[in-house]
Amino acid sequence: MNLPSSPGPIGVFDSGYGGLTILHQMRQILPQYDYLYLGDNARAPYGSRSFDVVYKFTRQAVGKLFSMGCHLVILACNTASAKALRTIQQNDIPQWDASRRVLGIIRPTAECIGGITRTRHVGILATEGTIRSESYDLEIGKLHPDIKVSGVACPLWAAIVEANEADSPGADYFVKKRITQLMLKDSEIDTIILGCTHYPLLFNSILKYVPRGVKIVPQGEYVANSLKTYLGLHPDIEQAITKTGSVHYLTTENPEKFKESAQVFLHEQIVVENVTLDNL
């Protein structure tokens, strides 16, 4: 793959809209950088897809962002981070360009959790694919072996958010059901990670049903602060990022549909382009 060498934006990839919650926090903490957001909305959701399919789709998206000038891509998608990140880092980056970087959002969340939980019992609410991958269990286990992790898949939560039904009674029913299921697994949980980037939009419903004193951890702030630290430690990558404070949006779906749905996550007018992901 022939990649441009001049500086470019930070690439942010998600299977749909949820990564916009991560992008928002990045722009709050690192407003000086340029960002290029790519949503594979035409093939979302990724949560129930196989490892092979998620890897294939994520590889295509990363390749597209690299070809458009990004030297650093953030997988702002828990499913892609769980099922595709390591293979892309180990197998594809060395073949494409060893100076490029792809980072996920699971490890930054796992790193912070040791300083938040007191009981050392942590819950994960995520998509079926993320729960099945046990990525949070493995990352938290490596960093904090004393922490017990319990996870529950929430297969309808992302769809509820994208349908703009986050504040509906129907949303409350499904939120309560999964939180009850999680707390029955381990009543000592005092910290719950929202392991899908859509779930912060359900925050009001979630707060209704978590037991008193249980902390909720959305990922955006932790991922953004981790990225700030990373760029401070890697000046070669930092210098390869353009800095005009701009953000551009790409989607594999209809741009007008993306704009309409993205209003659930954003509070600004945006311009969106359609892209096709090549079979890299």
Contacts of 155 (CB under 8 A, 6+ apart): 47, 48, 127, 128
Other beta carbons less than 10 A from residue 193's beta carbon: 29
Q: Identify which of 214, 30, 194, 198 has the alpha carbon closest to the alpha carbon of residue 109.
A: 194
Q: Identify which of 48, 82, 52 has the alpha carbon closest to the alpha carbon of residue 153.
A: 48
Q: Identify which of 8, 14, 11 has the alpha carbon closest to the alpha carbon of residue 262.
A: 14
Q: Do residues 29 and 59 touch, judged by C-beta distance below 8 A? A: no
Active site residue 196: yes
Max intra-chain CA distance, the chain: 54
- The string over 117-139, giving b where at least 16 C-beta atoms fall within 10 Å of a residue's C-beta and e elsewhere, is beeebbbbbbbebbbbbebbbeb
Q: Do residues 130 and 195 touch, judged by C-beta distance below 8 A? A: yes
Q: Which residue among the candidates 70, 112, 154, 196 is catalytic per the annotation?
A: 196
Tokens of 268: 């600004």
Task: Fill in the amino acid letter for 198.
Answer: H
DSSP three-state, residue 6: coil
Q: Which residue among the candidates 70, 77, 112, 154 is catalytic per the annotation?
A: 77
Q: Which residue has the tokens 């960093």?
A: 143
Which H/E stretch holds residue 175?
A: helix 169-185
Catalytic residues: 77, 196
